[in-house]
A = this chain, B = another copy of it.
Amino acid sequence: MHAGTLIQGIGDDAAVLGLPPGHELLVTTDLSLEDIHFRRHWASPPSIGHRTLLRGLSDIAAMGGVPLAAFLSLGVPRNLPQPWVDEFLTGLVRLATRFGVSLAGGDTSESPEKILADIVVVGSVPRGRAVLRSGARVGDRIYVTGQLGAGAARLARLYSARQTRIGRPRDRGWPIPRIAIGQFLRQKRIARSMIDLSDGLSTDLSHICEESEVGAEITEQAIPRARLDRARVGMKFALHGGDDYELLFTADPRARVPRIIDGISITQIGEITRARKLILCGAEGRRAELHAEGWEHFGQS
């Protein structure tokens, strides 16, 4: 889909962009701070650049939109080696290129001590068609894309090796924003509400419920858990872990939801309810209230 046009990028007071006729604008911002949202020695510079843009693109995907341009504000301490910045940008630009997104502005400043990166992504969506968090209705089925928990499980491993400066961090399984799936679900009018799983299933599902003024029941055994080194990750990572960047959406029970979209499995995990709480249905009919336990930032741990 044609997302719009970059008319004037870096090199003026503001960027100038054209949207396709009949489209609305989407804007998302996301701030990543060293030692709060990432650690310099726990991930490679390209993977941090990738993640920075990923978070913005994933937000656009969750609206059913198409990304158009990104703006990066980067603050780096004076003593940071230039190759770090170059590699960070390499990771970011590689992801931008893959999704046809122009890096249209932003700037680099000296920061007092730590790295910080604020990303803005703008995109477009046909007028009135953005998929909001507030559209879930009682009886809707709840679906997720892909597998959950890998991001948090990987992070837990790094935590357990804390203080051990790991050499070259391993960069495996970088998440990809579900742009094509988000668009498909919007175009086919399948998703009535949608959010991306950046803070963890329990937290992000609670956002859908709050904005839609509903509750939800999900089935523990239905949750698609990721594999890490061939073993399934623990349930707590799939339930509460962040940084998966899959999509969670709800659909009318009569809607025909494909089992695979864009090569990614789509799994029904529960149902929207009138009672305004989250219920986790376990084995043998066990039911327990599920509390939002979003991912803890380093700074809060």
User: Which residues of A are in contact with B by a Cβ distance under 8 Å?
Assistant: 4, 7-8, 11-19, 21, 24-31, 33-37, 58-60, 62-63, 65, 69, 71, 73, 75, 78, 104-107, 109-114, 116, 118, 120-123, 125, 127, 130, 132-134, 194-196, 211, 297, 299-300
Contacting pair A16 B125 (CB below 8 A): yes
Most B CB atoms within 10 A — which of A33, A107, A109?
Answer: A109
Residues of B within 8 A of A27 (CB): 14-15, 17, 69, 71, 104-105, 120, 122
Most B CB atoms within 10 A — which of A16, A134, A211?
Answer: A16
Shortest beta-carbon distance from A299 to chain B in Å = 5
Contact of A63 among B14, B37, B113 (CB under 8 A): B14
Shortest beta-carbon distance from A32 to chain B in Å = 9
Contacting pair A19 B19 (CB below 8 A): yes
Contact of A122 among B12, B25, B78 (CB under 8 A): B25
Contact of A35 among B19, B31, B78, B112 (CB under 8 A): B112
Assembly stoichiometry (copies): 2
Contact of A16 among B25, B109, B120, B211 (CB under 8 A): B25
CA distance A130 to B122 in the complex (A): 19
Contact of A31 among B7, B118, B300 (CB under 8 A): B118
Contacting pair B75 A116 (CB below 8 A): yes
Given A8-B130, A36-B109, A130-B8, are A60 and B28 also a contact pair (CB < 8 Å)? no
CA distance A231 to B275 in the complex (A): 69
Contacting pair B112 A29 (CB below 8 A): no
Contacting pair B36 A110 (CB below 8 A): yes
Contacting pair A16 B105 (CB below 8 A): no
Residues of B within 8 A of A36 (CB): 75, 109-112
CA distance A130 to B116 in the complex (A): 31
Closest to A62 in B: B13
Residues of B within 8 A of A114 (CB): 112-113
Residues of B within 8 A of A195 (CB): 13
Closest to A297 in B: B110
Shortest beta-carbon distance from A191 to chain B in Å = 12
Residues of B within 8 A of A73 (CB): 29-31, 118
Residues of B within 8 A of A69 (CB): 27
Shortest beta-carbon distance from A48 to chain B in Å = 16
Given A18-B24, A60-B14, A299-B110, are A29 and B133 also a contact pair (CB < 8 Å)? no
Residues of B within 8 A of A75 (CB): 31, 33, 36, 116
